[in-house]
Structure 1
């Protein structure tokens, strides 16, 4: 069916246009709510934040099952925080984290104990650093966990990074689910497409205004333009999907 005919039929039915507008607004609201969901990324899974300090839970689903990480501050001074990991295949690990003596540069003394009270790390922590530091200020490197076929393998050999434990305790890795770059690019595509539909000769005239007097688009240009009115929104929708996965 001709695109112009479809546009004409839609424009002639105010009720249909109103329903379409309402549907678009509802879908946009739901999408933005999903996009701006607060949480953290852990092992390539997004964990949604639930609750508020001092009792917070991050819950999400990985390919192998549910991931639930709870953070509970035992004191208001943040010098004793329990971080509990509940991972697929019944992996449950609990740690106690304490931060003390934060200096001017953001470094603080860090101590991590396991569920048996054994100290598994003692050194220094800084929020924006990709690694921890030992007692001498030397970067502390950690080996990656078990990965099979490019996927995290949750088994008895699975290792939780000490830096991840500290970051959860410090609430340092929170963010939103969506990627702004893809969202902005999708918005630009939708905006340019709407402008092109509303003013079909605008971009053509701008492109030739300094070279040709009173330019007229060819049939090929018009055909490609109408195809772009379908293709570009599809690309925009794909970007919106990519932005939240």
Structure 2
């Protein structure tokens, strides 16, 4: 049996510890549901002082984001307030209960009105049964009505030119799709790499001889090979840690 050095033991312990720790963290993160917002992740909670309100909060693109959604069923209206640090505060609303709109080749669709900071942002028809199912007041298909182009100059902060789009407002008013952080697929990919590193650290000479036994009789590694192998044992655990963190923070 090959005698293992302190470095080999440290590598084996660190690899095993990361595999167990990130398995637990990924499991925990998967139980904490949230929603995607601007390539970020917001947690979901309820307002203690208003049972009709739902709050989505988190840090996205370097700023604290809070989106408060309040249902007003008596007014057939849902209010959506988007706050991004001190940079953005959009007070939005989605009104329903309006007369249906006759959409081209589709028939009657829901009539909605979306406002932002007191100004009309969109009024027309909408159906979730079709991709980009937005229609103007005459029933003409208007697929890009839910989007809003944002142009940023070089070096400008992500949020400086941000405006909440009609699609985002409607998505939060209707209840966005829930998701969770953490990718099991990426985790198991990192686990595979961890296993390969553990084998290399546990049986360095055996793996070297197995690799070259068909080419050379009684192969022996050079001093340079051994030095590079030890350097890899110091570097690869750091790369694995970065990979595990990426897997933990990944969104579907």
Question: Under a length normalisation based on structure 2, what TM-score does the superposition of the two structures give?
Answer: 0.65
Query: Counterpart in 2 of 1:193?
Result: 197
Q: Could you give the per-residue CA deviations for residues 177-202 of structure 1, whole angstroms, max 9, x where no partner exists? A: 34556534432222211122223245
Give yes or no for the alignment of 1:235 onto 2:239: yes
Match of 2:144 among 140, 154, 160: 140
Indicate the RMSD between aligned Cα atoms, in angstroms: 4.3
Give yes or no for the alignment of 1:29 onto 2:37: no
Match of 2:159 among 147, 153, 156: 153
Distance 1:69 1:222, change over 3 A: same
- 2:148 partner SS: coil
Mapped to 2, the partners of 1:197 and 1:126 lie a distance apart of 54
Asked whether the equivalents of residues 97 and 169 of structure 1 are also in contact (C-alpha less than 8 Å), the reply is no
Deviation at 1:81, TM superposition (A): 4.2
Q: What is the number of equivalent residue pairs in this alignment?
A: 225
Deviation at 1:59, TM superposition (A): 0.2
Distance 1:133 1:223, change over 3 A: same
Distance 1:68 1:8, change over 3 A: closer
Match of 1:84 among 77, 81, 86: 81
For structure 1, the 5+ residue unaligned runs are: 11-16
Query: Counterpart in 1 of 2:6?
Result: 6
Deviation at 1:235, TM superposition (A): 0.7
Mapped to 2, the partners of 1:230 and 1:165 lie a distance apart of 48
Asked whether the equivalents of residues 35 and 176 of structure 1 are also in contact (C-alpha less than 8 Å), the reply is yes
Question: Under a length normalisation based on structure 1, what TM-score does the superposition of the two structures give?
Answer: 0.66
Larger relative contact order, structure 1 or 2 (CA cutoff 8 Å, min sep 6): 2
